[in-house]
Structure formats: C-alpha cells, structure tokens
C-alpha cells in the first residue's frame, strides 16, 4: 500500500464527472461471448434502470460494466480484489466488481459512480473532497467515494479510526489518505440527515 504524501488539487468533480459522462444510454447491450462459451441473459437494475446483458456468465462484472455497458467510472486496477478501484455497490454493499461473476448479478441492484453522482449524498462528498484537496490523479476516487457511501450509510457519524477502517480496502497511491479521511469526516457532519 502506497501512502506517500504529495501536493493536492481540488478535482473531485472533474475526476468523477468525466467518468460519469461516459455512461451508457441504452438499456440492453449484448456482448460477445467466446464461441465455445454458452451465453446467458442476465437482468438487473443498474443505476436505477433495468438492463439485460448477454454473455459469458463467468465474465468479471468489472469488464461487463466497463467494456459492454461503458461505465468507465468503474476503474480497473489489480483485477484480483486488492485495490478497490473497481468498487461498486451491489444491493447497497460495497464489493470489488473484479471479484463478481456477471452471471451472479441477476435480480440485484448495481450502483456505480455514474448512478451515485446524481444523488444529494454525492454532492456533499464531492464538495468536501474538493475542499480538502482529496483528489490528485483521481483514479481511486470513484471507488473511494462509494466506500465512503457504504461507510456513512451504515455509520453516519464515524470516528477517524472508523473512516480509516472503512476505506481500508481502497488503495490510493497519491494522497497519503489524510485528506480523504478529513473529507469523509466533513461529509458526515455537513450531510447531517442525508445518511
Ligand atoms: S481492480 Fe478490483 S480490486 Fe483492484
Ligand atoms: S488520487 Fe491518485 S490514486 Fe488516489
């Protein structure tokens, strides 16, 4: 885990929204399965909309979201459940989408940063991340924001220690974490009543 210190700039909105603007606009997008693989049809709610995807059920949900459904706010880091860049909410629970088989999401609700950034809760986190200069390269930020959402929805008034534990599955190579922790603590105060 890298925890180097560095200079910051307030790019939370730009980092998250640029990814969000690439979101899919059609509800059903079949993908190509390898010829030897039997494709299945999987229906689930994605960012509030019913979608049906067809393809290899063992495909990583990360790849389905990014490559087939064009939700590139879901970032690809390690592809083995270690970095949290690919974090999403699956029925409200923070999960690494690289560790979820696409065939398992039928009937669930999937939320990515593209869906979450339309919420009032996001606005609070966006403002506090920007004010605290908690974004540098921005690559970890979609996952980090969803980790903050999962934490605050379970514990609206976390201690600093609880925030650090809550984001412990999300690696950031740039910020040193302190600004991110401060931003989440600020959001827990400024978002009173939202969580
Ligand atoms: S890409 Fe999924 S945890 Fe790193
Ligand atoms: S801001 Fe660069 S990885 Fe976190």
CATH fold for domain 12-16+117-190: DNA polymerase; domain 1 (1.10.150)
- Show pLDDT as tens, one digit a residue, over the chain (195 residues): 333 333 333 445 455 544 444 444 334 555 555 556 789 999 999 999 999 999 999 999 999 999 999 999 999 999 999 999 999 999 999 999 999 999 999 999 999 999 999 999 999 999 999 999 999 999 999 999 999 999 999 999 999 999 999 999 999 999 999 999 999 999 999 999 999
Q: Which CATH class is domain 23-115?
A: alpha beta
Query: What pLDDT is recorded for position 35?
Result: 59
Query: What pLDDT is recorded for position 16?
Result: 53
State whether the beta carbon of 77 lies less than 6 angstroms from ligand 2: no
CA angle, 148 then 158 then 164, to 5°: 60
Q: What strands lie across the sheet with 93-96, from one edge to the other?
A: 49-55, 40-46, 109-111, 87-90, 93-96
Q: Where are the CATH 1.10.150.120 domain residues in the chain?
A: 12-16+117-190
Q: In the numeric block, which tokens belong to residue 171?
A: 């690696």
Query: What pLDDT is recorded for position 26?
Result: 38
Instruction: Determine which residue's CA is closest to atom 2 belonging to ligand 2.
Output: 137
State whether the beta carbon of 163 lies less than 6 angstroms from ligand 2: no
Q: In the numeric block, which tokens belong to residue 136?
A: 């540098």
Q: How far apart are CA 79 and CA 142, in angstroms?
A: 16
State whether the beta carbon of 81 lies less than 6 angstroms from ligand 1: yes
Q: In the numeric block, which tokens belong to residue 68?
A: 């087939």
State whether the beta carbon of 78 lies less than 6 angstroms from ligand 1: yes
Query: What pLDDT is recorded for position 37?
Result: 76
Query: What pLDDT is recorded for position 90?
Result: 98
Closest approach atom of ligand 2 to CA 136: 1
Query: What pLDDT is recorded for position 52?
Result: 98
- Which ligand places an atom closest to the C-alpha of 15? 2
Q: Where are the CATH 3.10.20.30 domain residues in the chain?
A: 23-115
State whether the beta carbon of 135 lies less than 6 angstroms from ligand 2: yes
Cβ atoms within 10 Å of 110's Cβ, excluding its own: 24
Q: Model pTM?
A: 0.85
Closest approach atom of ligand 1 to CA 99: 2
């Amino acid at each position: 885990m890298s925890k180097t210190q560095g200079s910051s700039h307030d790019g939370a909105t730009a980092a998250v929204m640029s990814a969000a603007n690439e979101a899919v606009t059609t509800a059903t997008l079949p993908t190509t399965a390898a010829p030897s693989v039997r494709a299945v049809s999987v229906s689930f709610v994605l960012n509030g909309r019913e979608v049906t995807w067809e393809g290899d059920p063992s495909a990583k949900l990360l790849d389905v979201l990014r490559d087939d459904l064009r939700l590139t706010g879901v970032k690809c880091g390690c592809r083995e459940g270690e970095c949290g860049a690919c974090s999403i909410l699956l029925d409200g629970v923070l999960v690494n989408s690289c560790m979820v088989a696409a065939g398992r999401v039928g009937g669930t609700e999937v939320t990515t940063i593209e869906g979450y950034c339309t919420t009032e809760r996001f606005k609070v986190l966006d403002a506090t991340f920007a004010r605290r200069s908690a974004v540098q390269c921005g690559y970890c930020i979609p996952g980090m924001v969803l980790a903050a959402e999962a934490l605050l929805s379970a514990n609206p008034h976390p201690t600093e220690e609880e925030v650090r534990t809550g984001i412990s599955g999300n690696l950031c190579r740039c910020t040193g974490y302190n600004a991110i922790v401060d931003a989440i603590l600020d959001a827990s105060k400024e978002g009173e009543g939202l969580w």
